Chains A and B, each alone.
Chain A
């Protein structure tokens, strides 16, 4: 069995890459991709500890996280569409208020 430290280091690296993307990118699609990276880092941890401790709960939880990530992307793409229609850009720093 592979030691859990390797999985956790991989998850930490993926999470930090996602965090870097969220902090630096202004395009909404890159934003969504970075958030997905952070969610998948959590999934790696769930599955790694599930296998390590012999408990299936972590794997079931990772399925729920994947489903919620899909819901988040669906809403996110809709918001990006509205953003583009109203401002002509997908830069998340352009809109300054909640209404136009």
Chain B
């Protein structure tokens, strides 16, 4: 390592350099891909049925399935997902509320933290300056 203070920082490990810790995960990922590839290429998937557009088309069919509408030409190829649709809608609502709560700032610039206290410049409100 160089003693020059201007270059000393650069001699250390780069925070974003993954070469020193990417070997084992890389090999594990490649091994997993190999196992998956062997399994996929050796599998028998049966005869293809193919999607038929039917009377309304595939996009309409997805919409019918989402809202439990009479499935028409797709009656035998899918099912209703209205309950799942509502659950996902509520989940998205909760997620956006949670994101807003986590990101919220008061008008004076202080931060309403996730644990209930109010932080100002990294220090909890009411705490002493020292």
Partner-B contacts on A (CB < 8 A): 1, 4-5, 8-9, 12-13, 15-17, 19-20, 23-27, 50-57, 59-60, 63-64, 67-68, 70-72, 74-75, 77-79, 81-82, 85-86, 91, 99
Interface of B (DSSP majority class): helix
CB contacts (< 8 Å) of B69 on chain A: these are: none
Partner of B50, one of A5, A25, A54, A82: A54
Counting residue pairs across A and B whose Cβ atoms lie within 8 Å, the total is 130
Partner of B101, one of A54, A56, A78: A78
Partner-A contacts on B (CB < 8 A): 15-16, 18, 21-22, 25-26, 28-30, 32-33, 36-37, 40-41, 43, 45, 48-52, 58, 61-62, 65-66, 74, 77-79, 81, 84, 88, 91-92, 94-96, 98-103, 111, 113-115, 119, 122
Contacting pair B77 A24 (CB below 8 A):
no
CA distance A79 to B98 in the complex (A): 10
Partner of A60, one of B37, B43, B81, B94: B81
CA distance A59 to B52 in the complex (A): 14
Partner of B51, one of A13, A25, A50: A50
CB contacts (< 8 Å) of B62 on chain A: these are: 56, 59-60, 63
**Residue picked from A4, A26, A85, A91, most chain B C-beta under 10 Å:** A85
